[in-house]
Structure 1
Amino acid sequence: MILRPVVSTDVARPEGARTLAGGWGWFDRVELLRRDAPPEILRAQKVGELEALTAPRALFGERPTVMGIVNATPDSFSDGGLHAAAEDAVRGGLAMAAAGAAILDIGGESTRPGAAYVPAGEEIERVVPVIAGLRAAGFVGTISIDTRKAAVGEAALAAGADLINDVSGFTHEPALADVAAAARVPVCVMHAQGYPATMQQNPRYDDVLHDVYDHLAARIAALEAAGIPRARIIADPGIGFGKTQAHNLALLARISAFHGLGVPILLGASRKRFIGTIGAAPEASDRAPGSIAVALAALGQGVQILRVHDVAQTVQAISLWRATVTGYAND
């Protein structure tokens, strides 16, 4: 069973409405979702404990946060090679920070569909100079290391990273959770069905929303058992990772369900294939408008963190979105 908040950002907020996760949205209804019954709408006032939905998030919870993607790889699906050289990656990351990215996510292994495995040593050689270079250049924001490997996580943290983002949900190398626990850094746990090389080969679910939710709930419990407090955990439903277009859309339509996990939600839908398909944009670099549309829809459901390629355009869109839903310009 999942209680999904039916989120609103309307300026006309009724008396008794609950603030969602300490952020900008509110709700006075919840959708009761069960595997074996149709959805049911309930008044929030008639539901018991809603602490998981209302408690403020310790990480990135008060206003929308943009995470800029810096792929230090030659073969990422949308910008492979653009930041393959460390100096180019540093320059690109600094430009994203200047445009408003509070987090820079540095990756040295492509996780696009069909991507090949990269040995830890090679991945370290790609990401460590970028992380060290960003810190040397004065970047003081959050640096996330996008990796599945414990050795890469250790090297990245030593170079100046302070968040671990694992697309395998800390299942590929469980020791990576131990690295995060020992360093007391936040983590992002993502859902993926299968490995990048094969994940898009006919993915199947009994019920994609419940299956992904239950998997993330189990992984969060495992991370807590490994010594990582829930207050340092972020959840990502993994759009495009072992999911068809129909799966992606089902998750996006009810993405506010994941607030029930009691952690911030990260959305990484930027430039994904379904955006190109629906938006008639076969080239990934032409998918910024569709990516921004998806991002703003997610903000309307209270999603706290947007992982994007097009930082400046997304930040501008968020500024205008916030101004138009509140009725005043935000600083």
Structure 2
Amino acid sequence: MILIREFRDKDAFYRFLKDKVGVFFREAEERSFEGLNRVIYLEKEKIDPQKIHECARWACLHIFHNEDRYALSGTEAQIRKFCSCLVKSNRDVATEILESLIRYRKKAFRLQYREKILPLGIKTAIMGVLNVTPDSFSDGGMYTEPKKAVERAVKMVEEGAEIIDIGGESTRPGSQRVSFEEELRRVLPVLREVRKELPNVWISIDTYKAEVARICLEEGADIINDISGGTFDEEMFRVVSQYHCPYIMCHIKGRPEEWKSMPIVYEDVMQEIIEWFGDRLSSLRAMGYKGTVLLDPGIGFGKLPEHNVEILKRFNELKIFGLPTVVGVSRKSFIGLILEGLLKKKTQPAERLYGSLGALAYAVTMGACVVRVHDVGPTREFLAVLDSIRTYHEF
């Protein structure tokens, strides 16, 4: 397992050394300035520590080691030099590190499907939320009539949405699952009319049911947005592999109907997400899938508020896969809890626009390519300025 971390603050690196690597607190404090570079974190068994230390010394890398855990800190040039040494004794690990660095540095992507192309990375793409459900946490019941749903889709595209994400089942905490037939009854009429009204827009279907995905792809949908990453329906990977459509793989822990009662515990939330994605991507590719996967860390999906904040803070670590990423924070409850805790202000979901923009801003600067939002117009203006600053002199 490999992680790539970046630290801009010595105190953050001190905590990492002490808590993650197990370095004694006095040494961690004395050496904490050494981590203000890129850090490669390894958990590897059956690897010769002596060779790791020899190559680190040769490359002038700072190294921290405890049992099978290693943290290597330095510039990318030093890390590459380290790998040129390590390749002589452990080609697999050296290659894995170098490939991870190459993927991590990738900035531009594109979606291509059904004669449509959507560049990602330079300009952040907006995915507009269209819930055709009676019980979604923010807009439940507002667009259950197909005519109103289509009008809403048209308005979001006019405001700047490149993707319309149609969902027929609420996944708010405590919500109950609906049948395959009921979900299709809600989604299909809207999908057909939106496809007719907006022939060139990207349409995503928010579902974890393989048969719903298959039928909607036949009806003209372009993207499957699966909150379960293929874990709720084992046939999902077969369906997306058959169509090779873009697939949003979302991390989840537990199920929506369990979140209010289940204990939600992570030792390291981002490490667990990255390991989970690695396993799921391997399973999907084993099916012969050749489309584009977009990774969504699943803000709020089996996470406590502190987990959501840490995911946003460390969002750039998802770049290790070299895949486009999606962030969905719009109007979520953790934003309301922050506003209540810091500003003593209770909010309803529709009143969390500014908080939502603040949360997605950090993720976008850390590499998020697509933002899933309810408030398309204000988000478009916000991103126009943010993207201009973020990409200035970079592309």
For the aligned pair, the TM-score class normalised by the smaller chain equals: 0.7 to 0.9
| Residue in 2 that maps onto 1:184 | 244
Letter in 1 for 2:200: V
Residue in 2 aligned with 1:282? 347
Of residues 276-285 and 57-66 in structure 1, the stretch that sits farther from structure 2 once superposed is 57-66
Does the 8 Å CA contact 1:270/1:308 hold for their aligned counterparts?
yes
Q: Distance in 1 between matches of 2:75 and 2:337?
A: 37
Equivalences for residues 1-331 of structure 1 within 5 A: 1-4=2-5, 29-33=37-41, 41-48=73-80, 49=98, 50-55=101-106, 56-59=108-111, 60-200=120-260, 201-229=262-290, 232-280=292-340, 281-325=346-390
Inter-partner Cα distance in structure 2 for 1:6 and 1:272: 28
Change (3 A) 1:44 1:113: same
Q: Distance in 2 between matches of 1:54 and 1:322?
A: 18
Distance in 2 separating the partners of 1:177 and 1:79: 30
Kept in 2, the 8 Å contact 1:73–1:107? The answer is yes
**1:47 aligned counterpart, secondary structure:** helix
* Cα offset, 1:30, TM superposition: 2.4
User: Could you tell me how far 1:282 is from its partner in structure 2?
Assistant: 2.6
Cα deviation code 1:76-99 (max 9, x no counterpart): 011111111111111111111111
Contact kept, 8 Å, 1:4 with 1:260, in 2: the verdict is: no
Q: Which has the higher helix share?
A: 2
CA separation of 1:75 and 1:39: change in aligned 2, threshold 3 A: farther
Query: Percent of pairs identical after alignment?
Result: 34
Residue equivalent to 2:50: none
**1:42 to partner: Cα distance:** 2.7
List alignment gaps of at least 5 residues for structure 1.
8-27
Give 1:10's aligned residue.
none
Distance in 2 (CA, whole Å) between partners of 1:318 and 1:285 is 19
Write the distance in 1 (CA, Å) between the matches of 2:123 and 2:6. Answer: 18
| Partners of 1:94 and 1:139 within 8 A in 2 | no
Q: Tell me which amino acid in the other structure corresponds to 1:320.
A: V
2: CA distance, partners of 1:31 / 1:143: 39
**RMSD between superposed Cα atoms in Å:** 2.2
Provide the secondary structure at the position in 2 that maps to 1:197. Answer: helix
CA contact under 8 A between 1:6 and 1:256: conserved in structure 2? no
1:150–1:99: structure 2 CA closer, same or farther, 3 Å change rule?
same
Contact in 1 for aligned 2:124/2:387 (Cα 8 Å): no
Please state how far the C-alpha of 1:45 moved relative to its aligned partner: 2.1
Distance 1:318 1:74, change over 3 A: same
Q: Which moved more, 1:37-46 or 1:150-159?
A: 37-46
Residue 48 of structure 2 corresponds to none
For residues 229-283 of structure 1, the C-alpha deviation after alignment (integer angstroms, 9 at most, x for no partner) is 3x51111100100000111111111010001012111101111111011123430
Partners of 2:122 and 2:391 within 8 A in 1: no
Instruction: Provide, for residues 202-243 of structure 1, a one-character-per-residue CA deviation record: whole Å limited to 9, x for no partner.
Output: 2111211111110011111111111213x5111110010000
Instruction: Give the whole-Å Cα distance in 2 for the aligned partners of 1:313 and 1:87.
Output: 24
Which secondary structure does the structure 2 equivalent of 1:227 belong to?
coil
Q: Which residue of 1 aligns with 2:49?
A: none
Range that drifts further, 56-65 or 268-277: 56-65
Stretches of structure 2 that go unaligned for 5 or more consecutive residues are 9-35, 44-65, 81-97, 112-119, 341-345
Q: Measure the CA separation in 1 of the matches of 2:268 and 2:7.
A: 20
Distance in 2, Cα, partners of 1:146 & 1:261: 23
Partner SS, residue 279 of structure 1: helix
Instruction: Spell out, residue by residue over 1:123-149, the C-alpha distance to the aligned partner (whole angstroms, 9 max, x if none).
Output: 001111111111111341211111011
Aligned position for 1:25 = none
